Amino acid sequence: MEMNASQVEAIVKQVLNSLSGNGAASGAQAGPVPPKARVAMLTEPGKMEIREFPMPEVGDDDLLVRVEGCGICGTDSHEYKRDPFSLIPVALGHEGTGEIVKLGKNVKDDSAGKPVHVGDKIVTCMIFKDDPDITMFDLNKKNVGGADVYGLLPDDDTHLNGWFADYILVRGGLGSTFFNVSDLDLDSRILIEPCAVLIHAVERAKSTGILKFNSRVVVQGCGPIGLICVAVLKTLGIQNIVTVDGNEARLEFSHRLGAKAHVNFKNYDGIENLAEGVKAAFGGHLADFAFQCTGSPAGHSNIYKFIRNGGGLCELGFFINGGDATINPHFDICSKEITTVGSWVYTLRDYATTFDFLKSAKDIGLPMSELITDKYPLSQIDDAFKKAAAMTGLKIAVVAD
């Protein structure tokens, strides 16, 4: 049988795929790529539009990735509601993951030095541009505050800038970082970004020298961030964790992730009574350490009342400006000698640590995937954001159609 040129090319690609194990050689692509991609563009507060854009050229240092899923972050919800970062029009989505379908010839390894091929699954981390102060192995030297991320970039001629899309173009020329996470399932990969936030927060907490194996720890706020905080602490072997929230279902779920007891603030009148409730949950003791995960100024004001003299606090709930909190420096900080650290997002190294955390959590039976309570196709992204705003689920994800 005589074959034409396209048939020969297809056979060659198939052979290359089988030889590499994980896809074609660098500089190749896996199968046909459509001429256009759908992108969910936020065009005004509260309005997403599914638009189609031409597929961009893939440069020698770039990766074209077919999106498999992306979680809706609280930051996405804030941007959706009122555009606090003045990014509109913008392609949102930074908790994403997908499969490499086209790889520039210069791309051999990910940001940790792990080889990558067409067909591998990846997540993006930060875009460092030309900042020399951030390197893979400088733990806590500088967090994402000095960088950009895909999903929070101003729109440009490429358009494929966020994970709420069919495809995303990861550009080497921007100083992009990414990781090969082919050994993790889809749900775990969707959870990497929010889990990295808590890996960073716990590392910040450990820097105080107060958070120990036998510490009494209170976690205030049982949204996805607070619940993941419980899970991270549990994988470290911390057993005495008390959660505080007003949603009984979320409080109950916190036990499955490692909480020993919980306190529903709706059952208490006033902060002094609530503090007594927390104390009772610890068997008559205040907390050695506290994580404040709510993003509520009132929550920050209250958290000091739960902590013993000489205890510690990690405040990580304020990813945007949520307003001022009222405290009494004498009673809340000075006379109690509270050691406080702030935590905001993560470092590049925290991402690598997160992969090990997710594997450890799975090994000890923590139901991390159940944090993703709802999945919507890209075509229903407005419904997904409305679900997230209603706060009737936990992590809401947008997945490939």
Per-block average pLDDT, block size 10, for the chain (401 residues)?
48 42 51 93 94 96 98 93 92 98 96 95 86 53 69 95 98 91 98 97 96 97 97 97 97 98 98 98 98 95 98 92 93 97 89 96 98 98 94 95 86
Per-residue confidence (pLDDT) for residue 130, from 0 to 100: 59
Task: With beta carbons less than 8 A apart as the criterion, state whether 264 and 242 touch.
Answer: no
Q: Residue 67, Cα to own-chain centre: how many angstroms?
A: 16
DSSP letter at 371 equals: G
Stretch (H or E) spanning 16: helix 5-20
Q: Is 226 left (phi over 0), alpha (psi -120 to 50) or beta?
A: alpha
SS3 184: coil
Alpha-carbon distance of 214 to 236, in angstroms, equals: 10
Helices (runs of H) and strands (runs of E) counted in the chain: 10, 17
**The pair of three-digit structure tokens given for residue 36, joined into one six-digit string:** 């256009």
Per-residue confidence (pLDDT) for residue 25, from 0 to 100: 41
**What residues pair up with 262 in beta bridges, in sequence order?**
243
Handedness of CA 391, 392, 393, 396 (dihedral sign): negative
Alpha-carbon distance of 243 to 230, in angstroms, equals: 8
> Tens digits of per-residue pLDDT, 336-355?
999 999 998 888 889 999 99
- Tell me the residue length of the chain: 401
SS3 61: coil
Q: Which residues contact 382 (CB under 8 A, 6 or more apart)?
A: 48
Architecture per CATH, 195-342: 3-Layer(aba) Sandwich (3.40)
- Tell me whether the CATH fold assigned to 9-183+368-399 matches the one assigned to 195-342: no
Alpha-carbon distance of 96 to 398, in angstroms, equals: 9
> How many of the other CB atoms lie within 10 Å of CB of 200?
26
Alpha-carbon distance of 239 to 253, in angstroms, equals: 16
Per-residue confidence (pLDDT) for residue 95, from 0 to 100: 97
Q: Which residue has the tokens 């809706």?
A: 72
Per-residue confidence (pLDDT) for residue 127, from 0 to 100: 86
Stretch (H or E) spanning 279: helix 271-281
Fold of 9-183+368-399: Quinone Oxidoreductase; Chain A, domain 1 (3.90.180)
Residue 398: name the closest of 115, 134, 151, 108 by CA. Answer: 151
pTM: 0.89
**What residues pair up with 127 in beta bridges, in sequence order?**
148, 176
Task: With beta carbons less than 8 A apart as the criterion, state whether 357 and 366 touch.
Answer: no
Domain spans of the chain? Answer: 9-183+368-399, 195-342
